[in-house]
Amino acid sequence: MGETKTANGPGIIIVADDHPLFRGALRQAIGGIFDPLTVIEAGTLDEVTTALGGAPEVDLVLLDLKMPGVNGFSGLTYLRAQHPSVPVVIVSGIDDAATIRTCMEFGAAGYIPKTTPIETINRAIRHVLAGDTWTPPDIPLAEGDKETADLIRRLASLTPQQMRVLTMLSEGLLNKQIAYELSVSEATVKAHVSAILAKLGVESRTQAVIAAARLDLPG
């Protein structure tokens, strides 16, 4: 994560949620964490990545699991692969133990349900910035089964571009359609697909899509 920052110095936090009112609530919750504090608001995953590209000194991303450009856990895995030095804390309306555990296994630095009081959100974020992790203390996170944990690790090993290709495979796109969307050649797409199959330990696109379904949120 690099050098730990405190409220005594300047800092930058990206607040990513597609609801402006909740972004405003988070602004209030993170007040005083840095002095001065720069808050960058984002309503889509593209806006998050643009902000990270324009502000390389971002200290933290607060990310909702349900927003444009985010397919379940894919937004988290994309950001962790693309910007591994920037901690990501999930702030979500979903508060079941399985979802929280999966997010932590995908590399989240913390998980804060949207029902969490403002004061607790502030303390949780300070914990993360100090190098710790934070999850709701009243939600026990029992160990998941080994098969699921192994698959999550395999999915987390995909590069950002491979994750995008896998997401497009899940949407039923053909290689030539994926190539067009990504502005690459079909040969490049085929190479990505081969790498995806190898990393996931599967033999077909169909099996890869089934594995990708683990990126979807429950319910």
> Into which CATH architecture does domain 11-129 fall?
3-Layer(aba) Sandwich (3.40)
Tell me the β-bridge partners of 39: 13
Highest mean pLDDT among 70-74, 105-109, 165-169, 174-178: 174-178
Percent share of the chain, pLDDT over 90: 50
Residue ranges in 111-185 assigned as alpha helix (H): 118-129, 146-156, 160-170, 175-182
Domains 11-129 and 146-215 share a fold: no
Choices 3.40.50.720, 1.10.10.10, 1.10.150.240, 2.60.40.2220: CATH for 146-215: 1.10.10.10
Model confidence at 49: pLDDT above 60: yes
Q: Considering the entire predicted model, what is its pTM?
A: 0.77
Model confidence at 140: pLDDT above 60: yes
pLDDT at position 143 is 66
33 CB-near residues (< 8 Å, 6+ apart): 7, 11, 13, 122, 125, 126, 129
Take residue 215 and report the two structure tokens written for it: 């990126």
